[in-house]
Amino acid sequence: MLMDAEEQEYTLGVDEDLTRLDEGIRRLKIDYEVYFNGGSPRPPMDTHWRVEKLVKQYSDSQKLNYAQRFRYNSLVQKFSVYNDLWRQKLRGREEGQGRFAGRGREEAPEDGITRILCRDPSRESEKVDQLLKAMVDAKRKCGESIGNLDPLAFKKFIQDKTKQLQKSLGCKTVQYVVSVEEGKAKLKAIRGDD
């Protein structure tokens, strides 16, 4: 079945919008990381608004074909996960938690080593965020690339590793240690204090 010119033009416009949505989410992720690491004085609300506008534009569209609907749903799911993470961090910042509260657990001690105890990382997202930030800081300190550190993949890794070590070591908590050794950032997991 051949598409008429109007349908074909609409399909190309939708594909361009979905590509813009994907790029917008990627840009927003970078902008929020810059903001939370102190590189920007305010959160990227303009970019956030533009991304939300694109999400809402196609939320109830019946003219998306199957491939476009699948791509749209994947992008919306990614945006939703990041949005929850950003909202938690913003709330923590407003309430003075985490690294925004002065000398807290998140700050690396003078020896440059960060130690964090985890019991259930799926319920301790702030600890996973602290670990991720410590790993990013350690990699930057060594001049290593941080482009391959995906927050979602990192969170899943910590959850899986904690369950695995709790089972194999018979412990309730796992201690994660982020350090710089021989010019490289290291993440180690050991038995925690039970």
| 81 in Cβ contact with 105 (< 8 Å) | no
Q: Check: CB of residue 134 under 8 Å from CB of residue 140.
A: no
Q: What is the pLDDT of residue 96?
A: 64
Give how far Cα 98 sits from Cα of 67, 72, 93, 102, 125, Å. 41, 34, 7, 8, 11
Q: Which residues, given as ranges, of the chain have pLDDT below 70?
A: 1-12, 95-112, 193-194
Residue 181: half-sphere exposure toward Cβ, Cα within 13 Å: 8
Rounded to the nearest 5 percent, the helix, strand and coil shares of the chain are 60, 10, 30
Q: What is the C-alpha to C-alpha distance for residues 144 and 125, in angstroms, rounded to an integer?
A: 25
How does DSSP assign 64-93, residue by residue? --HHHHHHHHHHHHHHHHHHHHHHHHHHHH
pLDDT for the residue numbered 47: 87
For position 109, what pLDDT does the model report? 43
pLDDT at 110: 44
pLDDT tens per residue across span 39-62:
778 888 888 898 898 888 888 777
Distance CA(124)–CA(133), nearest Å, equals: 15
pLDDT at 11: 57
CA angle in degrees (0–180, nearest 5) for 143-86-178: 35
User: For residue 2, what pLDDT is reported?
Assistant: 44
